[in-house]
Amino acid sequence: MVLQSASLVYPLSGLVVGFVIGLTGVGGGSLMTPLLLWLGFHPTTAVGTDLIYAAITKSIGTVAQHAGGTVDWKVVRRLAYGSVPATVLTLFVLSHINGESRLLGDTIKFVLGIALLLTAICILFRKYFAEVLARRYGDISDVRTRTLTVVSGAIVGVLVSLSSVGAGAIGVTALILLYPRLPLARVVGSDIAHGVPLTLIAGAGYWYQGDVNWVLLFNLLIGSIPGILAGSMLAPRLPEYGLRPALAAILLFVGANSVMHAHLF
């Protein structure tokens, strides 16, 4: 698809996605990548461009989170021990597949759909999962927590590298389950900070393959930055119990549609 730099479609798309991010804290990869696919971009271009977009926005968020003391760097390191090798390995596999092949495009659509469905489930049932885990297992030893954190990072690394989705709601849910005593603000801050090296490395891999559209990225950022600011200011005034189920419903629909249109079976 040829991108017209003067088109308002892309800044407006960034504005809408940024607004949702500001309102709910979720929606970057979950909404941006499906939106770019719907606009006609090849799956690898959609994922690659969204990864660089996420790296930039998460970097800004990490600076703010670190300044507020809401980043647990020990947790970030544990996640990165799993996600960075998993991301590099996934990129290595992708580099040996023709970027224009139908198989790769369908694989990305399928993984994207699964990641969206998992994200929606995490949004809807996060508190329930935490309560069940606490009742059944109680406190988890530090050794097991560290191991499971690395494994969680690896899973998120694969999902993000293939679909750009997973570093938000899925990562936050994993941290809530593994670190029930960690304040939610530090959980979110740590997840955002972990997303920076993850999306940067994954995005660099797509960039190397020529799958990042820089004009598109610039247009998305023009809209998303004011969108995030507006959504963040409005968020405290709106009831969360209505916002998150609505977002989850959208992700369930888009995720199911993506899986059904991935012709892998």
pLDDT beyond 80 at 138: no
What's the whole-model pTM score? 0.83
Please answer whether residues 191 and 198 qualify as being in contact, where contact means their C-beta atoms are separated by less than 8 angstroms: no
Distances in whole angstroms, Cα of residue 152 to Cα of each of 75, 103, 146:
11, 27, 10
The pLDDT value recorded for residue 4 is 52
Cβ-based neighbour number of residue 11 at 10 Å: 18
Q: How confident is the model at residue 220 (pLDDT cuts 50, 70, 90)?
A: very high
User: What average pLDDT does this structure show over 184-188?
Assistant: 81
The residue ranges of every structural domain in the chain are 9-260
pLDDT beyond 70 at 176: yes
SS3 98: coil
E runs forming strands in the chain: none
Task: Please give the mean pLDDT across all residues of the chain.
Answer: 83
Angle made by CA atoms 256, 258, 84, in degrees to the nearest 5: 105
pLDDT beyond 90 at 140: no
% of the chain residues with pLDDT over 90? 26
User: What average pLDDT does this structure show over 201-207?
Assistant: 94
Element (H, E) at 101: none
